[in-house]
């Protein structure tokens, strides 16, 4: 049995061809009491999940409006809850589990590394960190890498690097550029600097005053961005080539090219946030490749270590040379365990055949969604690149997401709550795509 504190969960029933094997009656221990549970969905004498949910409310800070599901195991694109109900995962831990759950190569890399060395801090050199950095540099515009532990940490580092760059390159100026541009529907994180770059007021307001000097412009408004960059006060422009949390909106090539030109002319830095859209999600290894525009700094995180916490800031040499010893750091960042996991992910995802499969499956997914959902009056648009897909509705998406979950499909909301966000593991099969679309189509009635 797998234990969670005082709650002992049953081992999940085996998955075979997407179906559960015969029901297994398993004893479940909760706070010393034993209840007999039939571990098939819907056949439960005592709900372990309900008890877990009640216990969570007593001991954790209430920062999450969680779905009422207690997940206990997974394999591939399938997840299992504590009662044995199976779910098709098209959320992948919010675009994190690129290789799905329990990938054997990832698992081998983690267990092998954990058995010899997991953490020593950045006081010392470790081999996996260097090997991962070499891969990131070789595959991108970047010359150097800074490791951290999450997407918001990566963006915090990018903020610091941008301001340090301006001070380093203008040593005689009493006032240097310290302000930033971000865009509508942006999401860059929840720590104070990254939060200041995030457009949703409800995220920022409770914590004001936050970092000053950020101007939000309309995503895609070339003229407004160019005019403000020309003022000479902008240290850096932060932009997501494809917005995930904001509603799955893609920038145009012309917009990103105009930002690049304006930044070059003014001496501002261009920062691409690829925390959600990078590392194969769009069918390119990096989302910027589709636009023919390279940044000075790029932040990545979510899928990089396949579920373990990691972030990375990729920078050009002109940025890296301005950062000196002591300017930034992290105790946990780039430790051998997480970097070994990331190498296993990177080596699979970066293969051309893997990326081609993401592109083809993304097109297939979108085509099916358009065919099955296009006639529904509530569906306004299906959009996205590769396997980051948004279905915009004219009503809140929550009821549809809830209905799909009850039907065994996990999807997310985005934007102003009216966009269904679909970000499955990149290994999803066509059969699983067909099943996902069928469930969404069937549960559209929830919108009425």
**Strand 249-250 versus strand 242-243 pairing type:** antiparallel
CA-CA distance, 82 to 86, in Å (whole number)? 10
Residue 35's pLDDT is 36
Q: What is the percent of the chain with per-residue pLDDT over 70, rounded to a whole number?
A: 90
Residue 268's pLDDT is 98
Average pLDDT, integer, range 134-150:
98
Q: For the chain, what is the mean pLDDT?
A: 91
The token pair at 433 is 């795509």
The token pair at 344 is 């296993």
**Bond before 120 cis per omega within 30 degrees:** no
- Phi, psi dihedral angles at 253 (to 5 degrees): -60, -40
**For residue 16, pLDDT beyond 80:** no
* In the block, residue with structure tokens 């580092």: 157
Average pLDDT, integer, range 392-415:
98
Map residue 232 onto helix, strand or coil.
coil
Average pLDDT, integer, range 3-15:
45
* Tens digits of residue pLDDT in 20-44: 333 333 333 333 333 333 344 444 4
Residue 74's pLDDT is 98
CA nearest 89: which of 443, 422, 417, 430? 422
Map residue 185 onto helix, strand or coil.
coil
* Tens digits of residue pLDDT in 176-206: 999 999 999 999 999 999 999 999 999 999 9
DSSP labels for 124-151?
Answer: S--HHHHHHHHHHHHTSS-SEEEEESSH
C-alpha torsion sign, points 396, 398, 401, 402: negative
Map residue 241 onto helix, strand or coil.
coil
Query: Which pairs from 317-322 meet CB under 8 Å and 24+ separation?
Result: 317/143, 317/144, 318/165, 319/161, 319/165, 319/269, 320/143, 320/144, 322/161, 322/164, 322/165, 322/168, 322/169
Domains, the chain, with CATH or none: 49-101+353-447 (3.90.1150.10), 104-351 (3.40.640.10)
- C-alpha distances in Å from residue 2, one per residue of 29, 56, 261, 344: 11, 18, 55, 26
Q: pTM for this structure?
A: 0.90
**Strand 19-20 versus strand 25-30 pairing type:** unpaired
**For residue 355, pLDDT beyond 80:** yes
Label residue 47 by pLDDT band (50, 70, 90).
Answer: confident
Average pLDDT, integer, range 302-309:
98
Q: What is the percent of the chain with per-residue pLDDT over 90, rounded to a whole number?
A: 89
* Tens digits of residue pLDDT in 88-132: 999 999 999 999 999 999 999 999 999 999 999 999 999 999 999
Q: 181, 217 in Cβ contact below 8 A? A: yes
Residue 349's pLDDT is 98
* Tens digits of residue pLDDT in 228-241: 999 999 999 999 99
């Amino acid at each position: 049995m797998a234990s969670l504190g005082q709650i002992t969960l049953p081992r999940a029933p085996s998955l075979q061809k997407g179906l559960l094997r015969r029901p297994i009656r398993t004893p479940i221990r909760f706070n010393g009491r034993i209840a007999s549970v039939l571990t098939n969905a819907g056949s439960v004498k005592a709900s372990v999940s309900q008890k877990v949910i009640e216990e969570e409310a007593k001991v954790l800070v209430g920062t999450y409006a969680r779905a009422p599901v207690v997940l206990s195991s997974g394999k591939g694109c399938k997840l299992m809850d504590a009662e044995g109900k199976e779910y098709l995962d098209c959320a992948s831990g919010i675009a994190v589990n690129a290789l799905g759950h329990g990938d054997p190569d990832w698992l081998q890399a983690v267990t092998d590394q954990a058995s010899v060395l997991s953490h020593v801090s950045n006081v010392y050199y470790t081999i996996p960190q260097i090997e991962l950095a070499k891969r990131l540099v070789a595959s991108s515009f970047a010359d150097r890498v800074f490791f951290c532990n999450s997407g918001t940490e990566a963006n915090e580092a990018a903020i610091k690097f941008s301001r340090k760059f301006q001070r380093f390159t203008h040593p005689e100026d009493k006032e240097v550029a310290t302000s930033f541009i971000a865009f509508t529907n942006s999401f860059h994180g929840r720590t104070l600097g990254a939060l200041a770059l995030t457009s949703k007021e409800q995220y920022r307001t409770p914590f004001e005053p936050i970092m000053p000097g950020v101007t939000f412009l309309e995503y895609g408004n070339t003229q407004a961005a160019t005019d403000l960059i020309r003022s000479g006060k902008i240290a850096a422009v932060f932009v997501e080539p494809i917005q995930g949390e904001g509603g799955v909106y893609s920038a145009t090539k012309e917009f990103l090219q105009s930002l690049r030109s304006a930044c070059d002319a003014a001496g501002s830095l261009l920062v691409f946030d690829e925390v959600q859209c990078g590392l194969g999600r769009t069918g390119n290894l990096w989302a910027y490749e589709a636009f023919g525009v390279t940044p000075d700094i790029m932040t990545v995180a979510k899928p990089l270590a396949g579920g373990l916490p990691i972030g990375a800031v990729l920078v050009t040499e002109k940025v890296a040379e301005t950062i000196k010893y002591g300017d930034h750091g992290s105790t946990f960042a780039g430790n051998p365990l997480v970097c070994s996991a990331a190498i296993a992910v990177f080596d699979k995802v970066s293969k051309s055949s893997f990326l081609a499969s993401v592109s083809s499956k993304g097109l297939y997914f979108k085509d099916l969604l358009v065919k099955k959902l296009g006639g529904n009056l509530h569906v306004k648009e299906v959009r996205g690149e590769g396997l980051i897909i948004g279905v915009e509705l004219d009503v809140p998406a929550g009821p549809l997401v809830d209905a799909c979950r009850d039907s065994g499909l996990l999807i997310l909301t985005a934007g102003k709550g009216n966009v269904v966000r679909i970000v499955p593991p990149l290994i999803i099969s066509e059969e699983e795509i067909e099943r996902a679309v069928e469930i969404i189509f069937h549960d559209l009635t929830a919108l009425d």
